[in-house]
């Protein structure tokens, strides 16, 4: 904690501003009177009660773009890190079971510290729900809102054959 500002207006008031540590839930200031006028008030004690660390909140605003057997995901950090640094994000693509397909896909997960990830090894034509969680030293968040994606093979437009030269 550090003193940011002190202002005194003689015979009216005095004002102290402190830089409060991130995550502080409560601040206590104790003043002690040491004389006969306002000039003898001193700050006797300053104490902060830190918030108890917890698992982070869920990551927000998940966006997914699918490609050929892949999906690119991006998201925003959670509104709260639980008062502990986030150490990993886990992005999971879970296939939606379709009994009509002869070959079912398996879930794919990627762990990263970045706010983006690429999921490789997805099966084209199979729909997946994609979610992301955040982890810190105190636990793992609930999953983000799920986003539906279906990887497909991109069909490039065939090149137009060159025109035949004119005889002339």
State the CB neighbour count (10 A cutoff) for residue 51. Answer: 13
| pLDDT at residue 165 in the model | 66
Question: Which has more pLDDT, 160 or 84?
Answer: 84
Which secondary-structure segment (H or E) carries 43? strand 41-50
Cα gap 85→97, rounded to integer Å: 36
Q: Show Cβ contacts of residue 83 under 8 Å, excluding neighbours closer than 6 positions.
A: 22, 23, 50, 51, 52, 53, 54
| pLDDT at residue 22 in the model | 65
| pLDDT at residue 16 in the model | 65
Q: Could you report the per-residue pLDDT of 31-90, keeping only the tens digit for each?
A: 666 666 655 666 666 666 667 889 999 999 999 999 999 999 999 999 999 989 999 999
Q: How confident is the model at residue 164 (pLDDT cuts 50, 70, 90)?
A: low
Q: Report which DSSP code applies to 68.
A: S
Domain ranges in the chain are 2-50, 60-149
| pLDDT at residue 1 in the model | 47
Cα gap 62→109, rounded to integer Å: 15
Q: Could you report the per-residue pLDDT of 112-150, keeping only the tens digit for each?
A: 999 999 999 999 999 999 999 999 999 999 999 999 999
The mean per-residue pLDDT over the stretch 8-24 comes to 62
| pLDDT at residue 128 in the model | 95
Domain 60-149, second-level architecture: Sandwich (2.60)
Q: Could you report the per-residue pLDDT of 89-103, keeping only the tens digit for each?
A: 999 999 998 776 646
- Kindly report whether the global pTM for this prediction surpasses the value 0.85: no
| pLDDT at residue 153 in the model | 84
């Amino acid at each position: 904690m550090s003193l940011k500002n002190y202002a005194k207006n003689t015979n009216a008031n005095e004002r102290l501003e402190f830089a409060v540590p991130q995550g502080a839930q409560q601040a206590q200031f104790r003043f002690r009177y040491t004389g006969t006028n306002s000039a003898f008030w001193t700050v006797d004690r300053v104490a902060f009660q830190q918030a108890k660390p917890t698992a982070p909140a869920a990551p927000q605003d998940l966006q997914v773009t699918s490609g050929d057997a892949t999906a690119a995901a991006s998201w925003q950090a959670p509104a709260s890190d639980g008062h502990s640094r986030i150490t990993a994000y886990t992005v999971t693509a879970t296939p939606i079971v379709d009994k009509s397909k002869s070959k079912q896909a398996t879930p794919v997960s990627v762990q990263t510290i970045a706010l983006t990830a690429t999921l490789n090894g997805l099966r084209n034509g199979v729909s997946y729900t994609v979610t992301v969680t955040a982890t810190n030293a105190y636990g793992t968040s609930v999953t983000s809102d799920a986003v539906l994606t279906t990887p497909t093979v991109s069909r490039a437009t065939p090149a137009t054959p060159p025109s035949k030269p004119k005889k002339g």
